[in-house]
Structures are given as structure tokens and as C-alpha cells.
Structure 1
Amino acid sequence: MTLGARIAWDDTVLPFQLDIPDIRGRVARLDGVLDDLLSQHDYPPLVESLVAEVALITALIGESVKLRWKLSVQVRGDGPVRILAADYYAPEEPGGRARMRAWASYDAERLNTVADAFGQIGKGYFAVLIDQGEGTHPYQGITPLAGGSLAACASTYFAQSEQLPTRFSLAWGREEAEDDIRAGGVMLQHMPKASPFAKGDATNADGLLRAEDLVAPNEDAAEDWRRVNILLDSVEVDELVGPEVAPTDLLVRLFHEENPRVFDPQAIRFGCSCSADKVRQSLSIYSAKDIGHMTTEEGIVTADCQFCGAHYEFAPETLGFEATDPPRDE
């Protein structure tokens, strides 16, 4: 693969469809985006891997949201890794690039850096939120953490909340020649029109539906689902992460007998939505007394964006619902 071809597929999500089993999917490759969002923080490798995984999941799910919509994935647990959060901002106009950001909160003193990464989250929930813009109520779906990985949690979310059989295969790693982290993944999902059978019974002890439960009532659908999952199981880490194997070549390698058909890829870049105005808005519910408690010895109020690390400073009299001075450039 040429350098130009490699760059062309970096930071993209490629939608595709397998016509024979009526299954759709997406291939994601994150390179510069992942470097940008991870470079904002000094995460331990264990936390870094979880951020990469939640970013991949968010990119794969987010590609389907409409223009100007926002999709968020949030994972919260009672373990050392308390929060994993990623936001996907759909393009502002057709053909534009989507934006992504991600962040993790963890307790460094409790973190067991040699233990299983997913186990460091503990008990909690996996949530997907979709914001359709002003004048609408955000959609939110929540499922318990289950399955041993964030990819399994995402699959359970779609089975339990959306009644859609879904599978994720994800990988990430650093290139030896460069201190550069790359990630890639494939998402498979049964087309909604092919899912009248999506009323299965949970067969797991936790009572949560899985993809296999949804397709079980329909023998043809169950066989199609088993077949494409066996094919996906054959994928190698290097094929998922790249950069030597283009997503189009990967689809041909895995699913050539299923007639894969690709659509226009969606380009992604790192981007944060924070601003001084949004910080002021978030503080507008506080009184002057409350703002006083937030004021530093230097007589200012400071705020840092958890996602991008941007630092903001404000004069306290410009904040809260009792502000006496109009906002000015700080």
C-alpha cells in the first residue's frame, strides 16, 4: 500500500453492506484522531486502551447519526476507572468531516496496571445518548456492564435497547517505528427490515439479551449470523489496525462470498465543543456567594476542559445569575 493510500483511509469510517445475509456494517480506522485525543492526557497504558476502545465504538456507532446531531457514549463504573466518555459530532454539512473527542477519569492509587483493563471499571452501566439539536429531547439508552469487554457491552446495548443483533471486533496498538497509536474495528449489524424475529428470550444468567438470542427464532437468520461471525473471527489484528490493509481489501478478504458493497467513507477529525460561553452558561445557575467559593486567591474563577485541556479564566463578577459586569474577553 502506498503512503497516499494509507493516509486516505486514516481517520475514516467506511459503511458497507453484505447483500446475501442482509447484514450491514462499518469499518473504522483511527490514527491522527486517536493521537490527538490521547495526547491531551498522560494516561497509563491500561486506561489508554480503554479510551481507544470507547473511541472506536463511538466512531462506529456515530457514523449513522444525521447532520449536526451529536452521539455520546458514556461508561461509568465503581472501579478505579470511573468514567469513559466519547462524543461524536456529525458533519455540519454534507461531505464535511465529523468531529470526535474522548476522556477518562480514573483513580491512579486504586488502578491495578497489570490486571484486566475492563475489570478495572467494576460494576456500572453503558449508555448511548443522541442529541438531535435545539427544540428536541435527547434520546438515552442504558444497559448494565456485561460481557467482559466494552465491545461486548456495546453489543449487549444494541440487543437489549435497540433489538438489533450487533457485533464489534476491535483492535489497537502502537507502531514500532513511530510512537503512534492506531486503532481499527469492524461493526456488523442485522438490517432492521430483516429483523421481525427480534423478540428473542435471554439465555444468559444476567437476564440480558444477546445478538444470538434475537436471531435464534429464525433459522435462516441465525445461520447467516453465525456464518458472518465465523468469518469475522478470522480477522487478524494487523488487518483491523492497518495501515497495510485498506478497509476495502479487508472486506474482500473477510466477506468476498457475501457480496460486500461499500458506500462513501466518513472522514473524522479531533474536535472539542468547549468554549468560554459554554462555561459561563454552565455557571449561570450559581449565586454570587457560590461563585465566591469558586474564586481563587488571585481573584479569578478557572475552568479546564476535561476533553481537550483548554484552560479558561473569568472575573467572578461576570459569572452566575447575579453577575454585575457583562462578560468580556478573558
Structure 2
Amino acid sequence: MKMSTIFRLLLVLVMGTSSLLYSCKKVEHGTDVPIVSINENTVSTIQVGKKLKVGFIANQVTDFTFSIVPVAAGEALMTENITVDPNTFIVSKEFDIPNQVSWIGDALLKISYTSEGQVIEKTKPITFTESNPQMFVVGGSIASGWEPTLSIPMTLYDKDSKSKFEVYEYVTVDGSGFKFLPTNVDWTDAFGKGTSDGTLLQSADAGNITVASDDFYRIRMDAEAKTYELLKSTWGVIGSATPNGWDSDTDMKFVGSKGIYTWKLTVNLTVGELKFRMNDDWIINIGGELSSLQQDGANIAIATAGKYDIELSRTASGYSAKISKN
């Protein structure tokens, strides 16, 4: 092989090795540059009143500033300085988002940190939406027991309110009562009995709410006013086919238990119509198809006079009934 050829091969080898070393040095230098980013998996929409979990990817950073800034002009909704271990690569933080109207709308998750003498800012858009009010009931005297994750959801009973909730449950003297929970996750911010019957205290020291007798109750609470109300609730039948006509109810008997909601009645009916209603009032009345009774549903026809067994049941899907002639 000629000397000129050998020289060219050696030159190529040396240049390639130098290039490789330079490339490695650049990569190593890159890992020393302070960098912080917001993880792309961080949610882009969340309801106010919830916990916002933000993931950060950090490299060679000891601290940075995190803030939530409205897109419209205005001061930051919140600002927090976050300290991290410089050897930590992934950081996760939870922030309590207050249930306030001022938070609703488009905003930016913003991080600010110093890298090589320069202040770096990065943002990620997020939208805060109006919360869906929720409340749960939990306790040993109802079907859920004391486990928060098994608590029973309540519903709003006043269309103009976001704090007034109700639920219908069989409540027993045994079981040490019940409490109200704003989430079905844990005991945070639970409501219990206040200083007197009918009042609530939002504190870990609050007592349990109890009843004097086993029965099916309408349970109401107002989270804003911090009050509660218990009303024994009954079902009955009313209509031209029933003994009292449309003037008054013929009461049914509750024969269920915790988590099993059943009412029964044996009664003489005439040809005519009937409906089911609660607490001798038309506020809650159900009719229509027996397999799926609906609020304000159609009257139920009775074609033949005689003695009947009537059974009303409530499940998670709603109310149904059986009407059987003896």
C-alpha cells in the first residue's frame, strides 16, 4: 500500500475520532443546562374546587416559580416557589383550586426559572370550568358504611342553589349515625353534627348525625348555611281505584332494610286508576310503565276489581312496581 494512501486513512480515522469525542462532549454539556418543563400529560381542563395535579420535568434545577395566570389581564391567581432536588428529573405537585367564580375561564400554567444567567419562562394553556356541585353521605347507619369511597351521592333539590342536597335512605339507630362528605375520596372537609340538632360543623371534631328510630328518611343538607333536616318518608297509592279515591293516600308499609328499598300493600281495588306518591303530597308522584315508573307519569289503569298485592321497589336505576290480583 502506498504511503499516501496510508496517510489518508489515518487522517480519516483521527478526524472521525475527534468528531465522536466532540459530539459526546456536547451531549454531556447539554445535561448540565438547567431546564424545567410542564409535563404534557397535565390536564388542559379542570373544574374549580378540584385538586390540580401538575407534572414537571426538571434537570439541574434547585428551584423554580410556578404560577397560574389568567389569559385576560389581571394578577396571577396563585404563585408558588417550588424547591427540588437537582438530581430529580420528574416532579409532581398538587394544587387546591378554590371553588371561586374568579377562577373560571382560560388561564396559563406558567413556570419561571434561571438558566445560564437568563430567566426562562414557559406556559401551558388550561381552562377552569364551573364545578358540578356534589355531596355524599356516609355512615354506619346507612347502606354505605363508613368507607368514603362507598359513600352515597346526593342530588341538588333546589334548581337555584348549588349547596342544597338531598337523598332518600333507610337509616337505623345502630351504626353510630352518618356524616356528609364533599368528595367520595376521603374525610377531608367532612360535615358532622354541630352544636344542636339541625346544625352542621365542618370539622374533624364534628359529631355523627343520628336518628331516634329506624325508618326511611329524606335527608337534606345545606353546605352553605351548614344545616341539615331529616324527614321520615312514606309511600302510598292514590286514585279512583283506591279506597280513598283521589282525596287521600292509602299508605304502604316499608319492608326493606339498608340498601333494599321495598314497600308493600294488600288492598281492595275497584276499576279505575291509581298512582304512587310520597308523603301524601304531589311534589313526588310516579306513574307510567310499572317496570320504569317516572315522575309525573301517567295514571296506572286497574281493569278488574278485587284484592291486590302491590309492591313498590327502588333501585339505582329508579322505581318499579308489581300489582298482582289475588
Q: TM-score category by the smaller chain?
A: under 0.3
Higher strand share: 2
Normalised by the size of structure 2, how large is the TM-score? 0.24
